[in-house]
Amino acid sequence: MSISHDTPIGWGILGTGNVARRFAADFSYLNDARLVGVGSRRQETARLFGKRFEIHHQYGSYQELVDDPGVEAVYIATPASVHKNNIMLCLAAGKAVLCEKPLTVTGHEAEEVIALARLKQVFLMEAMWTRFLPIIRKLRDLLAQGRIGKIHHFMADLGSPAPFDPQSRIFNAELGGGAMLQRGIYLLSLANMIFGSPSSVKSFSMKGESGVDEETGFLLKYGCHSLATLWCSISIAGQREGAIVGTNGLLRIHPPINCPSCLTVQDFRPQKTSRTLKRSDGTPTLKNRLIQYAKGKRFLHLLRERFPVFSNRILHGIHTTIFYDPPKGEGLHYQVSEVNRCLRAGRMESPIMPWDESLSIMRTMDQIRAQS
Ligand SMILES: NC(=O)c1ccc[n+]([C@@H]2O[C@H](COP(=O)([O-])OP(=O)(O)OC[C@H]3O[C@@H](n4cnc5c(N)ncnc54)[C@H](OP(=O)(O)O)[C@@H]3O)[C@@H](O)[C@H]2O)c1
């Protein structure tokens, strides 16, 4: 399908649940896209959704939505278990696809949808919205510049409890529920963005009443030098933050890790030599004497507690920089801008969330879930 170049790109929403509502609300931040149609399994649901978000074409089936010639791209906002069929439906109709995370439930399903996108020469991207947030773009730049040196470790958690409902997409195995598919996907995707595909995978899970993993811990190894240690949960709250450890510094991703606004970078400055801390006659400088004094006193604990940035800098030579760039609205519109940019450039995949990466992530997910 050719994309209109003079008018905003026409979007359709497939599925009218929670995230679809947030996605539609975020359209107010976009100049280059307009909502043309909405498709639901029920006509009445489509009508109510369309009325609320002023979407003119309201369809009582997904097929009718993809048959609308004004719809150029479709956002799929359904449970993971039906992503494969929904993607196939859109691609067969020649519509560009932005599909919610996880792209599919298994690596094999991901292979199938990517093969069809390739065959049909139609755009497809996993809606891993976190990657497109301004602060995560900053993180990518910092890592690419080598700001924290060679990366050795990524540790993070996403413990975010949902009310127990065995029928919900979070707890229902038949809808693609479970901690890994619903929460761990964010951590796995970040780890993949940082290191690429892992060379080894170890995981442990705790299953709940509905049969899905409610908590999963996983350890990923990358070659000989790098590790990721990650934990996710749908029943227990965690810190929801992360840290990337490099040879020259540490980069913290502040909570919530799936939608952060803030990063801090601690640069490990080379430790001062004894020569710089001593006078030419060998006696310690006043500054060094004060540091030695403070190190032995309760004053040090106070300094660390009250002024962590200052104390790190003075006592350990650690320099901290804070980056703050909160997303506008729900933050779901940045990925739409990326899809539009790709469509206008005639691309079938995004360099920020390419097919190979979604496939690698789903294959790692298969290994983690098989061990659990
Ligand atoms: N990016 C984010 O922040 C974010 C947040 C939450 C969820 N998600 C992802 O978005 C997707 C949807 O999550 P959600 O919270 O919006 O789910 P939800 O509230 O349960 O809504 C899912 C919608 O999918 C449609 N659907 C199609 N087949 C279905 C089936 N067999 N059972 C139930 N619903 C079905 C329904 O729409 P109709 O009745 O209109 O057909 C339903 O309203 C999931 O893949 C999830 O991982 C992303």
What are the DSSP calls for 232-269, one per residue? EESSS-----EEEEESSEEEEEPSPTTS--EEEEEEEP
Pick the atom of ligand 1 nearest to 62's CA. 41
**101 among known catalytic residues:** yes
Sheet (strand 318-324) strand order? 200-207, 213-222, 226-233, 151-159, 242-246, 249-253, 262-268, 318-324
Say yes or no: CB of residue 228 within 6 Å of ligand 1.
Answer: no
DSSP state letters, 24-48: HHGGGG-SSEEEEEEE-SSHHHHHH
Pick the atom of ligand 1 nearest to 176's CA. 45
DSSP state letters, 181-214: IIIIHHHHHHHHHHH-S-SEEEEEEEE-TTSSEE
Contacts of 99 (CB under 8 A, 6+ apart): 75, 76, 83, 86, 87, 124, 125, 126, 127
The answer to whether the peptide bond before residue 326 is cis (omega within 30 degrees of 0) is no
Say yes or no: CB of residue 30 within 6 Å of ligand 1.
Answer: no
Q: How far apart are CA 81 and CA 210, in angstroms?
A: 16
User: Mean pLDDT, 10 residues at a time, over the chain (372 residues)?
Assistant: 82 98 98 97 98 98 98 98 98 98 98 98 98 98 97 98 97 98 98 98 97 98 96 98 97 98 89 49 66 62 65 69 97 98 97 98 98 88
Domain ranges of the chain: 9-131+330-364, 134-269+321-326, 274-316
Q: How far apart are CA 90 and CA 68, in angstroms?
A: 11
Alpha carbons within 13 A on the beta-carbon side of 97: 33
3-state secondary structure of 127: strand
CA 357 to chain centre: 13
Angstrom CA distances, 188 to 13, 65, 181, 366, stand at 26, 32, 10, 12
Q: What is the pLDDT of residue 316?
A: 64
Contacts of 78 (CB under 8 A, 6+ apart): 14, 15, 17, 86, 100
Residue 140 Cα, ligand 1 centroid: separation in angstroms? Answer: 29
Say yes or no: CB of residue 333 within 6 Å of ligand 1.
Answer: no
pTM assigned to the model: 0.90
Pick the atom of ligand 1 nearest to 258's CA. 3
Say yes or no: CB of residue 19 within 6 Å of ligand 1.
Answer: yes
Q: How far apart are CA 123 and CA 318, in angstroms?
A: 45
Whether 97 contacts 90, CB under 8 Å: yes
3-state secondary structure of 125: strand
Whether 215 contacts 233, CB under 8 Å: yes
Out of 3.40.50.720, 3.30.2270.10, 3.90.550.10, 3.40.50.300, select the CATH number for domain 9-131+330-364. 3.40.50.720
CATH code of 134-269+321-326, in short, is 3.30.360.10
Unique residue bearing structure tokens 């840290």: 243
Q: What is the pLDDT of residue 276?
A: 44
Q: In testing the pocket of ligand 1, which one of 14, 19, 62, 132 has its CB within 8 Å of the most ligand atoms?
A: 19
Unique residue bearing structure tokens 């399903």: 109
